Amino acid sequence: MRRALLIGVAVLLVVGAGGYAMRGTIAIALMKIAAARAITADAVETFPDGLTVVLCGAGSPLADPQRSGPCVAVVAGKRLYEVDAGDGAGRNLTRLGLPPGRVSALFLTHFHSDHIDGLGELTVLRWAGGSHHDPLPIVGPTGVEQVVDGFNAAYALDTGYRIAHHGPAVVPPEGHGGVARPFDLPAPGDGAVVWSAEGLTVTAFAVKHDPVTPAVGYKFEYGGRVVVISGDTAKSENLQRFATNADLLVHEGLSRELVGVMHAAAEAAGRTNVAKILSDIPGYHTDPVEVAEIAAAAKVRHLLFYHVIPPLLVPGSEAAFLHGVDAIYKGGVTLGRDGTQIELPRDSTTVAVTQRAF
C-alpha cells in the first residue's frame, strides 16, 4: 500500500513538473479559447425583448473594489444605451460582454467628475469598436455642450494618431468623439422627452443635488416596462412622482451612519479637509431608508441601489447599509455591485435579478 502511494505521488510530481515546464504553451492554448470568446461576446443578443439593466459601475468617487464609477447600461430590445460614464465604464462594458461599439446614446445626469471621467475612453472604444461614421450622441441638460467640447478637444491628438495608424476605413474620421444633445432643465412636475426611437421613450426630470444644477434623472419606457434612474439626488418628491408604478427604481444611496463613522475617523486623525467633505456630502444624497420611503410611496416593483456610499469593505457593512430598508419597503431590494443585472421582459411583471461575474 505504501509502495503504491509513493508511486502515485511520484507520478503526480512528474506530471506536475511537466505541466509547469509547459505552462507557457498551455497558457497560449487557453488564451486562444478566451480570446475567441471575448471578441465574439455580445450579451445584448442574449437578453429577452424588453428592458435589461446592467450596472457597469455601482460606486462613487470613493474607491470600492466591487463598485466602479457610476455607469448604468440599459438595453431596450436590441439597442444598448448608457447612463453616465464613470471611471472604467467602457472597459466594464467590454468585460460584461456589452460591446461599446453598440452604444446608441449616452445620457448624463449631471456633470460631477465621477459621472463623466470615463467619457473619453468610452467614445474611443465605441468609435474604434464599431467603425462608426457618426459621433456618440451625448444627451444631457444645458452645459453638456461644454463637457463634450472639452473631451473632444482633449482627445484631438489621440484621434489623429489612430486615424494615421489604423486608417479611415477602420476609424472613420467623422465618427470620433461625441456630439452634444442638450435640453433645458424641466420644471418640477414636468418632464422632457429627450429620446424617442424604435419603441423606446426616455424622459428627463429634475432632481435635487444642490449646489449642483442642472441635475436630472431619467425614465426609460419600452415594451410595457418602466425603469427610473435617479442620478445623484437628495430625497426628491419629483423623482417619486416620475417613479410611480415603475418596474425598477435604480436609486443612489448614502448611509449617513457609515459616512459618520468615516467622518469621526477623519476628525480623530486631524484630516480636517477630509472631515469637511464627509460632513458636506450627506446633504445632497439620499439615505437608504429615505430611498425605501420613496420606493414604497411610488409603489415600484423592485429597488436597486447604486452609487453606493461609502465603500462597503468590511464584513457586515452591506447589512448595515440596508438597515431599516425592509421595514419600510416590502418589494424586492438589490444592493448593486458591478455586474448586477436585472431583466424585465416585455409585457410582463417578471423581474429577474442575476449577479454577473467578470
Question: How many angstroms separate the CA atoms of 322 and 331, rounded?
Answer: 14
Q: Which of 64, 84, 87, 114 is catalytic?
A: 114
Q: How far apart are CA 288 and CA 322, in angstroms?
A: 6
Burial of 20 (0-12, 13-18, 19+ CB in 10 A): exposed
What count of Cα atoms within 13 Å lies in the side-chain half-sphere of residue 33?
4
Contact at 8 Å (CB) between 311 and 326?
no
Q: DSSP letter string over 291-306?
A: HHHHHHHHT-SEEEEE
Query: Is 210 within 8 Å of 202 (Cβ atoms)?
Result: no
* CA 304 to chain CA mean position, Å: 12
Residue 74's closest CA among 221, 294, 232? Answer: 221
Contact 42, 93 (CB under 8 A): no
338 is catalytic: no
Sequence-ordered list of residues with C-beta below 8 angstroms from that of 92, at least 6 positions apart, any chain: 56, 57, 68, 71, 338, 358
Provide the grid cell at 337.
Answer: 455591485
Cis, bond preceding 173 (omega within 30 deg of 0)? no
Q: Give the residue numbers marked as catalytic.
A: 114
